[in-house]
Structure 1
Amino acid sequence: MKLFQKLLLAPAALGLLAPVAANASDVNIAGLSQYGTEEQVTSITQFSDVQPTDWAYQALSNLIERYGCVAGYPNGTYRGNRAMTRYEAAALLNACLDRVTEVTDELKRLMKEFERELAVLRGRVDGLEARVGELEATKFSTTTKLRGKADFVIGGGAYTGDTSGLTTSSGAYNGQDTVTFNYRLTLNLDTSFTGKDLLYTRLRTGNFGKNLFSGKGYTGNQTMLDVAKETGNVVKVDKLWYQFPVGNNLKFWVGPLIENYYMVGSTPSVYRQILKQFKLGGYYGVYGASTAPGAGVSWKQSYKGRNTPRFSVSANYTAKNGTKGDSGIGTADSKGKFLAQAGYGTSSWNLTAAYAYIQKGATVGYGTPLGANTTVVSSGDVSVSRGFDSANAVALNAWWRPQNRGWIPSVSAGWGLTAFESSETEFSTGEKFQSQDWMIGLNWADAFIEGNLLGFAIGQPQFETVRSGGTTPEDGNYAMELYYQFAVSDNVTVTPAVFYLSRPFGELTGTNDTYGGTGANSFGTLGALVKTTFKF
């Protein structure tokens, strides 16, 4: 018998077992013969002598309106203050038993009708209990979640145009087609102590050595893949920082291994890149970065609906020499980078404007040898970079994506300008004063097949636009990529891709054997690859 049934029957049973609560002379036999034989009351308001101020008002109301097993006297009274006779207890018990029997029969019919569904639910509950028990027994931490990803890349490339000067003393990079097979493994550890904070740890290893995809070929980092990583097959701590909110609008970051663009309130691009130079709407002056000690803060307007735009403001600082005792943080030799960004938009579109102050030695992003400090392989494998004393960079970015997936792609676009303070002259072209860059990236979600992704991007990495001496730079260059990401399953994707760089050396193309042959003005790089990604 259920608990509520016992509670209903308890007072009646006690009344039957107890001695007579009133003398025989007090019992109105005529009245008792009618007690409980009248139609059951359906509302406590039918009793003229029961008031809301009575101490048992609520209990009596529940018995009447929920269970329907309380009767009164023919004159419409309940007489709650008089003693209960055994006859009255019997009448109350009879009414409640009829109601309980009715409820029980109804439940039996329902259980019979939904017997199959109830059996399925019981099986699912048992299965969930078993899985929860297994997870609790095998989890390695109550605060940390592990996410993993492995990227396999097989592919190669060729140099186009005049390649007569592309032979080094060691015979490497002579312009012949080469195929390499590389990997990158990433382990992300997300730790939270309050449910709102995050201690982020990233472990990485990879074997992208000296090849086209690692950014160490003739065309430098312009051909570097976003998944390229070289650690000599040793697992290393790649990122480490702690982020936490203060109130509903502020967020803080601090860590010994972080990059500036992780500490912004809104992303400047939604394009998914193959070449790293297309990252963040252009991995150039403002957003080009190096992992270093740093800290940052962002403020974002409160959420007021999916289609309501919100402002965000961010500021952060990193110091590439922040771990060195002879340089440290906040000095002239810190190789520091300060980035500030303002954003405005919704989940469907966003506009950002950003500014960066870059100290000498900090990263200014990818581009031509004249437009940015790009590593160029020359005879004897000597790295050359065009230096500067400091730089100020600005970037304007925008993106939009359709709410309904179809043949209309998401669009990401970016433009940047970097102004250099430089006292150095390299390549005999004069001091570098200014460079610009731009890119446009398109993504078609669910292209051809649901779950797949088609992507195309085109742009110009940083190229020199102003220099000392009154000369007009002819440093133009172009980069483009095309890929199709095929989802084999929720955890495995295969992505064939091609990319092409036109005149990656810019104005220096053809000036000597290092840059595509003497006197030539037609040098390019063509690459093709297949990337397979496993998520776990």
Structure 2
Amino acid sequence: MKLFQQLLVAPAALGLLAPMAANAADLNINGVSDYASDEDIEQVTSITQFSDVYPTDWAYQALANLIERYGCVAGYPNGSFSGNRAMTRYEAAALLNSCLDSVTELTDDLARLIKEFERELAIIRGRVDGLEARVGELESTQFSTTTKLKGKTVWVAGATRAKGDNFRVIAPGTRDDDGNLVDRPGARNQYNQDWGAFNFSYDLRLGLKTSFTGKDLLFTRLRAGNMGDTSPWDGNGVSLNKLDTAAPGGNGVEVDRLYYRFPVGSNVIIQAGPLTRNTEMMGYKATAYAKGGTKVLDFFGGSLGVPGVWNKETGGGFGAIYTNKNNVSKGNPYFTVAANYVADSGEANDGNPSSGGFMTDNSEGNITSQIAYGNKKWGMALGYRKGQCGAKFRTPTMFTVDDKFGTPCTVDNKKGESVRSGAYSNSWSFNAFWRPDDSSWIPSVSGGVGASYLTGNRHWEHQVIKRSYASWMIGLTWSDVFMDDNAMGFAVGQPQFTYNVDRKNDDSDFIADGGYAKEFWYKYQVTDNISVTPSVYWLSRPWGDNTRNWNGDYKSLGVFGGLVQTTFKF
């Protein structure tokens, strides 16, 4: 007998099996007679047939269920239930008989259904047995009970080509025997000779996510690639060639992330580690560009068009993120405030304070902060970064990157002696985005604008002419283009360029450093784990103010890039 059947008849059975502890005077003979005397009484089908049972009675619902679901309740011929009277063994026998009749019918129905679906049930039992076997095998061979492994590899095939004027450029410091400056081959031909070949390379990332409490995260990432100094995709030829997926060279495996993140209360997250990144401790990324797609140039992708603040500095550091997301209704905008410190990975682990160290004058440290407000549909963020001397900038024009780029820690004084520069930088950024509710011809819109201001002591001012940088971008992304999960994107902007110089020995501080970058891509989702993204980009003046002939005339020279990225996720 099934469990529910046993529970159903147990009270009546107990009444039959219990010993007769009561005396004869306790037996209600009249009641027994009333219960069994009328053979023509109909089976009770509704609780409303009882004249003495009311909805306010404590057992009303229980009686209703027994009558309507199982037909297990009979009444007295006078239409009453007499719920306050003690039940005799005769009454128990009558109730038990009624219930057994119903249970027998139910058992017959179940047997018929089991026989009818015998084949389907056998298939289900086989599948369950197979699943149990597979679960057992996974448990015995699983990598770790606390760690998950996720991988991603991107294969890049393509080429770059310089287009425009083939002007001749003076090679700085190169002179012939008569002391005349020696110029080099035309700039266009020189670029194509050094960087114009079709090439095929890869980037591989393996992320280990470990959690000890379910809320914390120990993140370790292994990375390998073959781009490096021999590939234009790592920012060679011109620095703006750098891709978002630019990988290290040499095919060597290295650890490029190692940090621990944990919550403090419900609104604060702390992150620290010997290999952490400042932009990964911002708490909120105010962009929708390439969401659901594949990023191409680093300037538009990882740097959000504002490489002064989003310089992606990686090294030893720590940070805190506050958000009130848990205190607002789902989908509503929320605040995020973040601040962090990161010393460059080459300096943070250096034990010599004159060349490095953690939180020393030579750490090449970055103090980065951001305040953001928004949700998944729209958002905005204001960012700031203070860079110590030597702190990295990202994706500038070649004029900006040439000759004492950024804030060097040492310069030569007027006597030719190497002295401290006292240099540092202040950078700010503003980013915002909006995305439509549904996929349509209307794209998501993302934008960013930023600037950096450099300063130092009088020795720095004597040696470095570049004072201020700026950049901006606008990106459009269309979702589900032609097919679900496919995406398309276009972006335009001015990568980081110098807009303010101070030439001590020249009355003219004019520069023409700004140029434009444009990219267009389409991501085709082959399977859930494989996508192919063909793309093209154009850099109008990547040499910036260096785009000049030997006599100083400004020329036109840009770089065209075409590539296909194939992404595998596992």
Which TM-score bucket, shorter chain as reference? 0.7 to 0.9
- Choose from 232, 246, 254 the match for 2:272: 254
Q: 1:347 to 1:522 in 2, by over 3 A?
A: same
* Residues 481-520 of structure 1: pairs in structure 2 closer than 5 A: 481-510=519-548, 519=553
1:367 is displaced (CA, Å) by 0.8
* Cα distance per residue 1:52-97 (max 9 Å; x no partner): 999x999878756764424454563547664723x33321221111
Alpha carbons 1:241, 1:254 under 8 Å: kept: yes
Look up the match of 2:307: 284
**From 288, 300, 309, the counterpart of 2:333:** 309
Match of 2:227 among 194, 197, 208: 208
Distance in structure 2 (CA, Å) of the matches to 1:28 and 1:430: 113
Whether contact under 8 Å (2:277, 2:315) holds in the other structure is: yes
Equivalent residue for 1:446, pick from 480, 491, 502:
480
Which residue number in structure 1 is paired with residue 428 of structure 2?
Answer: 394
Corresponding residue for residue 88 of structure 2: 84
Q: Any conservation in 2 of the 1:211–1:217 contact (CA below 8 Å)?
A: yes
Q: Is the 8 A contact 2:307 2:393 kept in 1?
A: yes
CA contact (8 A) 2:309 2:384 kept: yes
Residues 1:82 and 1:523: Cα distance change in structure 2 (over 3 Å)? closer
Q: Which amino acid aligns with 2:196?
A: D
Counterpart in 2 of 1:434?
A: 468
| Residue 419 (structure 2) aligns with | none
Letter in 2 for 1:324: D
Indicate the RMSD between aligned Cα atoms, in angstroms. Answer: 3.5
Q: Which residue of 1 aligns with 2:394?
A: 365
Q: Would you say 1:264 and 2:282 are equivalent positions?
A: yes
Matched position secondary structure for 1:350: strand
Structure 1 residue 30 displacement after superposition: 5.5
Give the structure 1 partner of residue 161 of structure 2. 158
Indicate the larger mover: 518-527 or 41-50: 41-50
> How far did residue 128 of structure 1 move?
3.7
Residues 94/409 of structure 1: CA separation in 2 closer, same or farther (3 Å cut): same
For these two proteins, the number of residue pairs brought into alignment is 518
Name the stretch that deviates more: 110-119 or 152-161: 110-119
Pair 1:323-2:349 in alignment: yes
Shifted more, 67-76 versus 16-25: the winner is: 16-25
* 1:44-55 equivalences in 2 (<5 Å): 46=50
Is the Cα–Cα contact under 8 Å of residues 46 and 64 in structure 2 kept in the other structure? Answer: no
Deviation at residue 120 of structure 1 after TM alignment:
6.0
**Separation in structure 2 between the aligned mates of residue 79 and residue 345 of structure 1, nearest angstrom:** 63
Task: Please identify, of 520-529 and 409-418, the stretch whose mean Cα deviation from structure 2 is larger.
Answer: 520-529
SS of residue matched to 2:228: coil
Give 1:491's aligned amino acid.
N
Per the TM alignment, residue 244 of structure 1 is displaced from its structure 2 partner at its CA by: 1.4
Corresponding letter in the other structure for 2:348: G
Query: What is the rounded CA distance, in whole Å, between the counterparts of 1:189 and 1:355 in structure 2?
Result: 31
2:439 to 405, 426, 450: 405
Q: Give me the whole-angstrom Cα distance separating, in 1, the residues matched to 2:76 and 2:274.
A: 83
Residue in 1 that maps onto 2:379: 350
TM-score, structure 2 length as denominator?
Answer: 0.81
2-structure distance, mates of 1:284, 1:65: 73
Rounded to whole Å, the distance in 1 between the matches of 2:281 and 2:33 is: 84
Residue 435 of structure 1 contacts residue 462 of structure 1 at CA under 8 Å; is this kept in 2? yes
1:262 deviation in Å? 0.2
Task: Please list the CA deviations of residues 331-356 of structure 1 after superposition, one character each: whole Å capped at 9, or x if unmatched.
Answer: 22221111111111121111111111
* 3-state SS of 2:348 partner: coil
Alpha carbons of structure 1 residues 26 and 229: separation in structure 2 relative to 1, 3 Å: closer
1:425–1:483 Cα change, 3 Å: farther
**Aligned partners of 2:162 and 2:560 also within 8 Å:** yes
Q: Name the TM-score, length of structure 1 as normaliser.
A: 0.86
Assess if the C-alpha contact under 8 Å between 2:234 and 2:247 holds in 1.
no
Q: More deviation in 233-242 or 121-130?
A: 121-130
8 A contact 1:186–1:205 mirrored in 2: yes
User: 1:266: Cα distance to partner?
Assistant: 0.9
Code of the aligned partner of 2:135: V
Determine the C-alpha separation between the residues in 2 that align with 1:166 and 1:406.
Answer: 50
Comparing 336-345 with 19-28, greater Cα deviation is found at 19-28
Aligned partner (choices 238, 260, 274) of residue 296 of structure 2? 274
SS of 1:281's equivalent in the other structure is: coil
In the alignment, structure 1 residue 177 sits paired with structure 2 residue 196: yes
In the alignment, what sits opposite 1:149? 152
CA distance in 2: counterparts of 1:166 and 1:243, whole angstroms: 53
Task: Give the 5 Å matches for 1:88-99.
Answer: 88-99=91-102
Contact 1:173/1:217, CA 8 A, preserved across alignment: no
The answer as to whether partners of 1:276 and 1:283 remain within 8 angstroms in 2 is no
User: Per the alignment, in what secondary structure is the counterpart of residue 174 of structure 1?
Assistant: helix
Aligned residue in 1 for 2:178 = none
Distance 1:99 1:387, change over 3 A: same
Aligned-residue sequence identity (percent) comes to: 45
CA contact (8 A) 1:369 1:506 kept: yes
